[in-house]
Amino acid sequence: MKNQKREIKEGIQFHEITTNKFKTNLFAIFLSVPLTKEEVTKNALLTAVLRRGTKDLPSQEEISKNLEEMYGAGFDCGIEKSGDYHTIKFYLEIINEQFLPEKENLSKKGLELLLSIAFNPYTENNAFKEEYVEQEKEKLKQIIEGKIDNKANYALERCIEEMYPNSPYGLYKYGYIEDLKTITAKDLYEHYLKILQNSKIDIFASGQFQEKVEEIVKENENIKKLQPRNANMELENKKEERQEPKVVTDHMQVTQGKLVIGLDVLAEMPNMTYITMLYNTILGVDSNSKLFQNVREKASLAYVCSSNYIKRKQIIMIRAGIEIENYEKALDIIKEQLEDMKQGKFNEQEIESAKNLIYATIANIEEEQDTEISYYFGQELAKSNVTIEQYKQKIEEITKEQVVEIANKIKINTIYFLRD
């Protein structure tokens, strides 16, 4: 496997991952912009409208027919929060030419279709097609309204919202209904033109290629039209230490309580991300973790109890589904686990078990093309250049003393409880 990155124009990067592990080639385009309340809903709606048609293929049906003609190529798009940035993602997966019955320039066709969807959408009178916009507004409205249906995810979103009340990361990635109502087809198209001018653009190609994919990108008319841009993606992770945890309780028709605890990682040290990853794995990633063993297995207080490390914001989110009357007991035992980590009450076997789990995760990065692209995109946003082999080595070198040092720099920010 070989990953190479080259600048097409300022703010527009091309990444080529050469691998012979797959029978498919995967292309991806990421448009990243600062996450703001004014634009979060427009970005989410834009993602849905762009997939509806291109200048040459003005309907979803025609795009689907085109994909079918390319031996059933697969297309998808979506939107994600990447720290304090909003990223519109487009993917197209296509069979590698060497597995075709006869020679055909399939990668070029697939890549050019993806570039058309992202950069040459179907418009009418300098606006998106009104019918498409209104239909997608209704679908997006249903997604936003439906976020309360999954109570565990709703509780997580609410806790993050409370941790970041005046910060981009507290925004819901699909936006807000009150903002959706006022967006017109012309407004959305003008917003799209602004994104084309200002977004950080990353184009990925993963697989084995019979031709120079970079040249296909450079010679594409849609790419030629794009102007250089200053797309310096600074990740804002500095945070003020909260003296006392914020405690929030919401009430809803639920039979099971949802407890979410947001932790700040307030450390500044070399390899902090990797040490925190190991800390989090010991704390709450699998069935051997302290949270699972003590909250679920020994005390039988939770159906699930785990933790997740969000490295772009340097926070850890602990989640537990509990009987409502067990709130205080579960909270006390979770706090005990945090204190035990500070006191170094974990052994070398727990460290090795956690490292092995991370090694398995690292090994899986190269087993799926989209996971590998996501890894290198994460490196791009973090302005880092850690190879997968270096990633493993950084985990290997972590000591117990470093984990304890991190543990003593972790503090509860917010305790959120969703109950009846």
Span 139-167, average pLDDT: 95
Q: Does the structure show a pLDDT above 60 at 118?
A: yes
User: 236-275, pLDDT tens digit by residue?
Assistant: 555 667 788 999 999 998 889 999 999 999 988 889 999 9
Q: Concatenated DSSP letters for 207-235?
A: E--SS-HHHHHHH-HHHHHPPP-------
CB 220 within 8 A of CB 110: no
Query: What is the phi/psi pair of residue 343, to 5°?
Result: -85, 0
Q: Does the structure show a pLDDT above 80 at 234?
A: no
Q: Which of 375, 380, 404, 408 is nearest to 391 (CA)?
A: 375
User: Beta 302-310 vs 315-322: how paired, if at all?
Assistant: antiparallel
Give residues with Cβ within 8 angstroms of 18, minimum separation 6: 1, 2, 3, 4, 207, 208, 209
d(CA 420, CA 414): 20
Mean pLDDT of the chain: 93
User: 297-313, pLDDT tens digit by residue?
Assistant: 898 888 889 999 999 99
Q: Does the structure show a pLDDT above 80 at 233?
A: no
How many Cβ atoms from other residues are within 10 Å of residue 238's Cβ?
8
The pLDDT, as a whole number, for residue 364 is: 94
d(CA 342, CA 283): 11
- Cα 374 to chain center, whole Å? 8
d(CA 202, CA 412): 35
The pLDDT, as a whole number, for residue 126 is: 95
CB 288 within 8 A of CB 350: yes
User: 23-53, pLDDT tens digit by residue?
Assistant: 999 999 999 999 999 999 999 999 999 999 9
The pLDDT, as a whole number, for residue 105 is: 83
Q: Side chain identity at 51, as an amino acid letter?
A: R
Edge-to-edge strand list for the sheet holding 257-265: 246-251, 410-419, 257-265, 315-322, 302-310
The pLDDT, as a whole number, for residue 264 is: 96
Q: Which of 96, 90, 117 is nearest to 203 (CA)?
A: 90
d(CA 88, CA 200): 11
Look at the block and give the residue holding tokens 């699998």: 286
d(CA 401, CA 376): 30
The pLDDT, as a whole number, for residue 235 is: 53
Query: What is the phi/psi pair of residue 161, to 5°?
Result: -60, -40
The pLDDT, as a whole number, for residue 237 is: 56
Span 273-301, average pLDDT: 93
**Domains with residue ranges and CATH for the chain:** 2-225 (3.30.830.10), 246-419 (3.30.830.10)
Q: Does the structure show a pLDDT above 80 at 102?
A: no
Q: Does the structure show a pLDDT above 80 at 91?
A: yes
The pLDDT, as a whole number, for residue 101 is: 77
d(CA 304, CA 260): 12
Q: Does the structure show a pLDDT above 60 at 1?
A: no
What is the number of helices (H) and of strands (E) in the chain?
Answer: 16, 11
d(CA 173, CA 184): 20
Span 64-76, average pLDDT: 95
CA angle 16, 22, 25 (to 5 degrees): 45
pTM value is 0.93
d(CA 264, CA 242): 9
CB 121 within 8 A of CB 279: no
How many Cβ atoms from other residues are within 10 Å of residue 331's Cβ?
20
Q: Does the structure show a pLDDT above 90 at 353?
A: yes
Span 197-213, average pLDDT: 91
CB 134 within 8 A of CB 48: no
